[in-house]
Amino acid sequence: QVQLVESGGGLVQAGGSLRLSCAVSKSIFSITVMGWFRQAPGKQRELVAAITSDNSTNYADSVKGRFTISRDNAKNTVYLQMNSLKPEDTAVYYCKVHAMANSRSYYYSDYWGQGTQVTVSS
């Protein structure tokens, strides 16, 4: 069983901040990358930020300088700190990991969190 549990979404005014958390099952094995995606109504799901196991990162151009992705290996948790939020950031945010389910697997798969709503009012 691989589970990703997200938290931290909510309603904020423009210019405010939120921190999203995604706790991943301790049983998951060999994570190659963890990331955050978002999807607004009527739009395609897009990559927001990603972080590798050795802490290299990349960000969508639209969030550079405002969002920070990080991970806590001991807690098997990935975070997304979102500052200077804009109405355009309103979306459902999804956590994703690319990993083997356990140490006896032979392939990597994508695993997704349930999504958390972020709404930014103007």
Dist CA 51 CA 58 (whole Å): 7
Contacts of the segment 102-110: beta carbons below 8 A, 24+ positions apart: 102/27, 102/28, 102/29, 103/29, 103/30, 105/29, 108/30, 108/32
What pLDDT, in 10s, does the model give residues 37-62? 999 999 999 999 999 988 999 999 99
| Res 118: pLDDT | 98
Question: What's the rounded mean pLDDT across residues 13-21?
Answer: 98
| Res 102: pLDDT | 87
| Res 29: pLDDT | 86
